[in-house]
Structure 1
Amino acid sequence: MAIVSFWCLLMYMYVLSHWRNIADGARHFSPSGCQLVSKVAHCRYLRLATIPQDLPSDIQELLLDHNNVKSLDEDSLQQYPNLNNLSLKSNRVGRIDLNAFWNTSKLESLSLQDNTIFTKYISVSSGLKAALSLRWLDLSRNALNEDMVTTLLTNLTSLEYLNLDNNVIMRLDRSFFEGLRNLKELSLQWNYIYEIEIRTFDDLVNLKTLNLAFNLLPCIVDFGLTQLQTLNLSYNHIESFFSREVDIEFQLEKLDISHNQLLFFPFLPKSHHLHTLLLSDNRMKFYNKHFDENSSFADFLILENNRSSITTVSLFPDAIPSNLSTLNIVDISRNQFDYLPEDFLAGMSSMSFLKLNWNCLNTFDFSRKQITSDLHFLDLSNNILSEISFEDGNSNLDHLGYLNLSYNRLQEMPKHIFSSMKSLSTLDLSRNLISLCSMSTNIGVDQGCVDLLNIPSLQHLRLSGCDLILDKEDIFHGTLLKHLDVSYNQLMSLDFLQYTNKMLKSLSLRSSLHFVDNIDFSDFQSLTSLDISENNLTTFPVSLVHLNLQCLDVHENRLTSIPISSAYQTLTKSLHTIYLSINPFDCCKLSWYDILTKSSAINIPDLNQITCNYSNNYMFVQELPEDVIHGCNWRNGGSLLSLVLSLPTSVTLLVALFLLYRIFKQPLLKMFKKHFRTSSS
């Protein structure tokens, strides 16, 4: 048996050494310092001034980012005929010889990001023409203007991806991309483009993705890229978007015009494949309701073929002429909508994600004619909603899983609106002056309360700042809440959580416990995150020490100490993050602080702001002076210090007893003799 074990051990050692040899052979370094892994040479951050010539001739990728290479000479890449990818990001490349790529016929990807190509761009253009198989080219961060780019792109007909970000391009015309018929992706963000001539992109018949974000475009008046699938126009100055009126089907799938100056809803193509429309942070609204019939129409005189006709046109039509039935994700948050036309949302029959937050809506209709049956996410927060319309038995709300109504002016809502949402998982009603129904108010007359009873799908509930007095024990009966926020309310106890305390994982009671003296969290055995900050608590709840909390926030209270005496307690073993600042901790009772800071697993984000009190002076715990530490050591010196302090008292007492004995010795002896005197034998 021992021999078998010995041979097994030898076999294991052989296999282990064999694999180590394979691993060592797969990764080694060249004399120039490049790390070689398979057929990739990693030569980043080596301060190389030229292309290294000591690499294997069969390498396929050469990564030379962040070096000092200034040029590609005729023989720089001659010995690497299989090179497929060359990256020269953040160098000083300003010149490329005419024959620099003559022996690299397989080169498909070239990155020249963050170089000095603008200095000798004609030389670079001549060198690029020899890269006949180039498909991916990055020329970003090179201070290139439109004339330079036109020169550089001449005859690069094989390109499929082109990055021109962070240059100084100001306008685009048709000569800019002439001949680039294979181009599929084009990125021009972070330039200064303020004008695009009509038919500029007509040669790009295979273009699928176009990124024009972070430019100075004022409008789009003739969008006609029918083959385009993704268009990013965010962070410009666009006030209007008009598509070309043609009967051809557009392939557009994603359109981003967020962070612009749009005044009207964009005029989209009649036929398209749009599933994502991002229009947040604009100035859009509908105008028809703000004008009477006489002022919202205008008569236009049309003269044609010696004939005249008058056409009446609505100046501010609410109707959207485009087909919106394909839209799945719509973001029109942070605009100025104060109402929505009747058929606006109904036309988005496939919509599952809608953001309408940060607008000026004062009413919203949850009826069948507005809400589609596929809607899963709806954000109406930060409006001025005071009224919500709802019809009982609306099955269109069955799939709604996320609903945010926070920061509105809601006081009364349809009582059973949420119980009809069978898939509702997350509900945010924060900052609304509402009241919650209990089992008793659920029977009989509607009292204007919101019914959250018996919604088993509800797991995330936020009721922060609703001015609630949570004194009923059954307001969450029939729910399976896991995350609850009742901050900035008035709590008399935690009895209202008796149906959910064993399931809750996250609980926020910020600024809500001012009327509670004793808090017991013993029943909250599933709790992993707790926020009891801003409550003026004078005593740390001892029951927390026995919970498996991962995140705890106790900042801005009146705590003088925390009852943590060992690094092996349940709380200290599970804790990942704790907030402690703005508490009057006692500078001489910081043993708990040492335990927490010595643990590498515990993060204290506000560590630099924690202060403590020493003789009515507040100072930062991390910067306690030596005299304070010495004073605390003297005060908390233990048994030896107690002995030293009690010694003078003991000596004084003994001396006093001795003096008393000397003074009263004779009278005491006489008294004893007189009292116990007996005759001798």
Structure 2
Amino acid sequence: MTGSCCCMASEKKTSCKVQHGKADCSHLSLKEIPPDLPRNITSLDLSHNRLTQLPPDAFIPYPGLLHLSVTHNSITKIDEGLCKTLVLLRTLNVEHNEVHLLHEKDLSHCTNLTWLNMAFNRLKLKGEPFSALESLTFLDVSKNNLMSARLGSQPQLPNIVTITFSSNTISALKKDDFFFLSHSSFLQVLNLSSLPLKTFEPGCFKPITNIKTVIMDGSNMGTDAISKLCSELSGTAINVLSLQKVNLVTLTNTTFRGLQKSNLTFLDLSGNGMGKIEEGSFQWLPRLENLFLTDNKIKHLTKGTFHGLKNLKKLNLRKSLVNIDDFSFQSLIALETLILVHTTIREITQHTFAGLTSLRDLEMGWCTCASLRNINSTTFVSLAASPLRKLNLTATAISQIGPGSFSILGNLTSLFMDLNFIKQTLTGQEFEGLGQIQEINLSNNRQTVKLSNASFIHMPNLKVLILRRSLVGTLNLNPSPFKPLSNLTILDLSNNNIADIRKDMLEGLVNLKVLKLQHNNLARLWKSAISGGPVLFLGGLQSLSTLVMDYNGLDEIPLKALRGLTKLQELSFNGNLLDNIKDTVFDDLHSLRALHLQKNLITAVRPEVFKSAMTNLSLLVMNKNPFDCTCESILWFVTWLNTTNASVPYLSDQYVCNTPLAYFNHAVMHFDTLSCKDMTPFQTLYILSSTAVITLMVTALLVRFHGWRIQFYWNIMINRTLGFSDARVEEGREFEYDAYVIHAEEDIKWVERRLLPLEDENYTFCLEDRDSVPGMSRLESIVDNMRRSRKILFVVTESLLKDQWCRRFKAHHALHQVIEASRDSVVLVFLQDMHDYKLSHSLFLRRGMLRPRCILHWPVHKERVPAFHQKLCIALGMTNQLQQ
């Protein structure tokens, strides 16, 4: 395992993944803590394994651990030494285990712990197990079959912020249950969801009066129990109360009486199947700002339903409403967002939304209302006093929009009418009065909307226009319906089967950034063969950054079709019939970052066409084309793919050669680029250079490891022919000995074993001890014997250099004789490696004074001894006359 990379094998995880100080060892069926992770990890995930315990010693290698997760194991206890070993531990997740008895000592050393999740165990508390957790801010003991919310008998958890008791068997909240939190001044969230609560003893919330959020979702309490809950919460600082799915079928005018003095600002009553809300039910909540009543069965809203909610800003009635009386929202003077999605309203009258003087967002998508089928100038008259900015009428079965239908909504900036059945020609009167509108969505109207020259004449500030799958007829209009929209930035005309447009259709849209024209029939417009030439309708769109032309049947792109689009960043021509794209078509696209050309008939990717477009590309999608894998068509592309940093999805399996037959159905990346070069001169040069390099390498290796053998056999061949000696016969007759041997006393054994056996081969050596002249002094005998020897042979060792007799007399006299007689008669045999400086200092000789054949080294390897003898014979047979 390493600390900087992921240790994975194929798709199945087989080892820990370590990255950025975090070790993920989940889903590995581990039975013990991995001992070989990097020491510097700060987070360790051991979830979904087979651990049964957390031995402290196993965590000794990871002293810097801050976060530990062991969820979904079979751990039965938390060892008291765990936090003693992991002194820096901040978060501990033991969710979904088998922890049963939790003693006070188990967490006594976890003083730095800030987050603890013990949910889905079977806890039984012994003593005060949480008393030492002074830094804890989050505690979850959900799903533990706890029968009481009392987790201690004395004040503790001073810094707790969120505590969760969900899905236990707590049926009653007693007076002292939360006493252990009486000193928890930071407590904000109390989660009591999915509990069978029926009883709330008086004063049960008194120890935690600073609580701000209480979640009771799924508790199935009923109306009476909720009334008691609200009474007990009256003395707290609560501002958020969630009562989803608590079986609150009927809301009475006394249910929330206990919260009259509270600061409640958020109330969620979703999913209760609520059928009736009595008038005045919310009168006790004057500070409420958000009310959620989604997924209920409210049959009727009346004038008094929301009485008292003068500060309400958001009301969500999604899937809840059946009928609305006039003036039902009159008291909601601060309401800014009203959500009526998926509701059923019988009729929208002139007073339905009366009183909503602050409304900015009205969501009526998927609403069933007969009044919306044919919108006219009176439909939204009840919103005349509302500063409405957004109106969502998606999928409300609109079929007709009358003149001036939205004229009353002069502040409207966003209008959504997609997924309807509008069937009419837009003359412009429908949008009269929408001078501030910035976004209109008319998409998916089953291609029944027809545009005219004046369709958008009253919307000069429009920025986003979505007409996807809505239009019928032609856009070959003069002037263009889009001409008044000089501020337009996004135009979607996709899926409209558009076949005929004018060159100036988009003229004047200088701010247009996104143009979507996919799934139309524009092929004929860009054909060079049509009368008057191709229709270049993209001219003048200098701000365009995204152009989508997918599935238009295009088989060519005019040479000047994309000229001037210097800011274009994304271009898409998916699913067309493009093949031979002309050179320089993409030359102006220097800013292009994404190019989509998949599912075309492109065979060649040549630099003349694509080089400019691909210079700064970060995404290329060109899969599923029938590439021609020849040098002319694909060489540049393959080279680009091998060097680019751009993302190319599906490169390995969907970029496939179609021709020639040799590459059919092979990946483009398998194309051999070397086959595209003229190899005649290069091949000759390659052969010559390769031969030279190989020859040099082989020669060097032979010389290095077998040079002595070559020399040995060469000498044998030469010397058998010419003899071992180059001296004249007369020169040999002048001497009695072949060589006078100078050696140290310590080397006498080597001389006797290695030199004297050569006397059996007609060589004679003069040794001082053996061949001294009787009756002569030692000095005279040495001088006389040297004169009678043709060669003077030095056996060079450290001992020789230290021998004073050899250094002062023998070497000196030998050198004198060589100089005096002008003879090349010295042979050096090195038994040890010797520096030339020592040789000169002791014997007054240097290697450079002698011929190379007169310098020999005793070999280390026994197999080279015959070669040494051969070299010695050659040296002894050489002439003493200096070579001129």
TM-score surpassing 0.5? yes
SS at match of 1:427: strand
Letter in 2 for 1:268: F
In 2: Cα distance, 1:63 partner to 1:349 partner = 54
Q: How large is the RMSD of aligned CA atoms in angstroms?
A: 4.7
In 2: Cα distance, 1:89 partner to 1:206 partner = 28
Superposed displacement of residue 453, structure 1: 1.3
Instruction: Deviation per CA, 1:518-565: give whole Å up to 9, x if none.
Output: 55544412222222233344648514333222242459857279xxxx
In 2: Cα distance, 1:101 partner to 1:500 partner = 72
Aligned CA distance change for structure 1 residues 322 and 461 (closer, same or farther; 3 Å): closer
Letter in 2 for 1:336: F
Superposed displacement of residue 209, structure 1: 1.3
> Do 1:140 and 1:166's aligned partners in 2 also have CA atoms closer than 8 Å?
yes
> Do 2:554 and 2:577's aligned partners in 1 also have CA atoms closer than 8 Å?
yes
Aligned CA distance change for structure 1 residues 591 and 190 (closer, same or farther; 3 Å): farther
Which residue is equivalent to 2:285?
204
Report whether the alignment pairs 1:174 with 2:253.
Answer: yes
Aligned CA distance change for structure 1 residues 100 and 518 (closer, same or farther; 3 Å): closer
> Do 1:535 and 1:556's aligned partners in 2 also have CA atoms closer than 8 Å?
no
Which residue is equivalent to 1:530?
620
Superposed displacement of residue 229, structure 1: 1.4
Which residue is equivalent to 2:229?
152
Report whether the alignment pairs 1:42 with 2:130.
Answer: no
Which residue is equivalent to 2:550?
464
Which residue is equivalent to 1:104?
182
Relative to structure 2, which stretch is displaced further, 357-366 or 51-60?
Answer: 51-60
In 2: Cα distance, 1:320 partner to 1:472 partner = 43
Which residue is equivalent to 2:568?
481
Instruction: Deviation per CA, 1:142-164: give whole Å up to 9, x if none.
Output: 34444443332234234211112
After superposition, where does 1:620-635 map in structure 2 within 5 Å?
none
Aligned CA distance change for structure 1 residues 420 and 246 (closer, same or farther; 3 Å): same
Which residue is equivalent to 2:269?
188
Instruction: Deviation per CA, 1:403-423: give whole Å up to 9, x if none.
Output: 222122433345434232222
Aligned CA distance change for structure 1 residues 533 and 197 (closer, same or farther; 3 Å): farther
Which residue is equivalent to 2:490?
402
Higher relative CO (Cα under 8 Å, sequence separation at least 6) belongs to 1
> Do 2:253 and 2:278's aligned partners in 1 also have CA atoms closer than 8 Å?
yes
In 1: Cα distance, 2:317 partner to 2:480 partner = 42
Which residue is equivalent to 2:463?
376
Relative to structure 2, which stretch is displaced further, 29-38 or 245-254?
Answer: 29-38
Letter in 2 for 1:79: P
In 1: Cα distance, 2:436 partner to 2:211 partner = 41
- For structure 2, list consecutive stretches of 5 or more residues without a partner in the other structure: 1-62, 67-85, 93-103, 377-399, 659-663, 672-884
Superposed displacement of residue 427, structure 1: 1.2
Report whether the alignment pairs 1:78 with 2:154.
Answer: yes
Report whether the alignment pairs 1:363 with 2:453.
Answer: no
In 1: Cα distance, 2:279 partner to 2:478 partner = 48
In 2: Cα distance, 1:263 partner to 1:387 partner = 38
Instruction: Deviation per CA, 1:266-300: give whole Å up to 9, x if none.
Output: 95345433333333344568778699xxxxxxxxx
After superposition, where does 1:246-325 map in structure 2 within 5 Å?
250-260=333-343, 267-269=352-354, 271-282=356-367, 324-325=409-410
In 2: Cα distance, 1:275 partner to 1:33 partner = 53
Letter in 1 for 2:572: D
- For structure 1, list consecutive stretches of 5 or more residues without a partner in the other structure: 1-19, 292-315, 562-582, 593-681
Superposed displacement of residue 256, structure 1: 2.9
Among residues 519, 532, 550, which one is paired with 2:647 in the alignment? 550
> Do 2:512 and 2:543's aligned partners in 1 also have CA atoms closer than 8 Å?
yes
Instruction: Deviation per CA, 1:106-154: give whole Å up to 9, x if none.
Output: 4652332543x22x42147863465433321111233444444333223
Which residue is equivalent to 1:574?
none
After superposition, where does 1:129-144 map in structure 2 within 5 Å?
131-144=208-221
SS at match of 2:199: helix
More helix by proportion, 1 or 2? 2
Report whether the alignment pairs 1:498 with 2:586.
Answer: yes
TM superposition score normalised by structure 1: 0.63
Superposed displacement of residue 485, structure 1: 1.3
> Do 2:462 and 2:488's aligned partners in 1 also have CA atoms closer than 8 Å?
yes
Among residues 284, 307, 311, which one is paired with 1:227 in the alignment? 311
> Do 1:276 and 1:329's aligned partners in 2 also have CA atoms closer than 8 Å?
no
Aligned CA distance change for structure 1 residues 533 and 174 (closer, same or farther; 3 Å): farther
> Do 1:439 and 1:474's aligned partners in 2 also have CA atoms closer than 8 Å?
no
Aligned CA distance change for structure 1 residues 493 and 93 (closer, same or farther; 3 Å): farther
SS at match of 1:154: helix
SS at match of 1:504: coil
Aligned CA distance change for structure 1 residues 380 and 545 (closer, same or farther; 3 Å): same
Aligned CA distance change for structure 1 residues 41 and 271 (closer, same or farther; 3 Å): closer
> Do 2:527 and 2:534's aligned partners in 1 also have CA atoms closer than 8 Å?
no
Instruction: Deviation per CA, 1:487-537: give whole Å up to 9, x if none.
Output: 1222133337423444321121122226x3555544412222222233344
> Do 1:276 and 1:330's aligned partners in 2 also have CA atoms closer than 8 Å?
no
Superposed displacement of residue 584, structure 1: 5.4
In 1: Cα distance, 2:540 partner to 2:199 partner = 73
Instruction: Deviation per CA, 1:560-587: give whole Å up to 9, x if none.
Output: 79xxxxxxxxxxxxxxxxxxxxx9569x
Count of equivalent residues: 521
Instruction: Deviation per CA, 1:363-384: give whole Å up to 9, x if none.
Output: 2468486653443323222324
Report whether the alignment pairs 1:335 with 2:413.
Answer: no
In 2: Cα distance, 1:395 partner to 1:341 partner = 14
Aligned CA distance change for structure 1 residues 381 and 269 (closer, same or farther; 3 Å): farther
